[in-house]
Amino acid sequence: MKKLLVAAAAVLTLALAGTAAAALEPFTFDPGNACPGVTSTFNGGVLHLFSNMLFLWVFGDNIEDALGHLKFLIFYLLCGVAGGLAHAALMSSSQLPLIGASGAVSGVIAAYLMLHPRVRVWVLAFRILPLRVPAAWVLGFWVVSQFVMAVLAPTDEVAWWAHIGGMTAGAILVLFMRRPGVMLFDRGLVAPP
């Protein structure tokens, strides 16, 4: 996971240096690309990059522990490809290039929900009030919002279907790629008092 974060930091450095448009050209999703979706799993936009890397940093290490290093890399790339293909299939008329790790990171979020829905995570309610709530509440709300936005704002500049495609792939892949003994849905977890 550290190598993914380093790659994203390199893209951020290019973006801040003002060379992002030319530098990101090879990393956009293009159905004619020899590796569709793989090269688009790195990022576009500073805020987009920051939010994806925050989610990857918070949830990714748990998924990497559950899968192992190599399987996590394969999982991440497959979720990114699935997100790119879902976007291409469902938004084929879109003229916007698909740049971003959102499909891959969405796969990580779905895997986290499959493995650790009862773990409590910190959130800022109303942007000021820190609360610890079950991951299922926070991430479940995020998952539902992706479907709502795909329906309500399909032509928005956000690739909602890439998020949904990555989530779907992540939820399915974690079933088969997790290490032996890694339980689903926090089975065996003793809830804190």
Q: What is the pLDDT of residues 39-52, one digit of tens each?
A: 444 444 566 777 77
CA distance 152 to 162: 15
Closest CA to 136 of 185, 93, 88: 185
- For residue 151, pLDDT over 50 is answered with yes
Q: What pLDDT does 101 receive? A: 80
Q: Which of 10-19, 59-68, 109-118, 166-175 has the lowest average pLDDT?
A: 10-19
**Residue with structure tokens 């084929």?**
92
Domain locations along the chain: 60-181
CB 141 within 8 A of CB 164: no
CB 149 within 8 A of CB 156: yes
Confidence bin at 175 (pLDDT 50/70/90): very high
Across the chain, what does the average pLDDT equal?
Answer: 74
Closest CA to 107 of 32, 27, 52: 52
Question: In the chain, pLDDT over 90 holds for what percent of residues?
Answer: 14
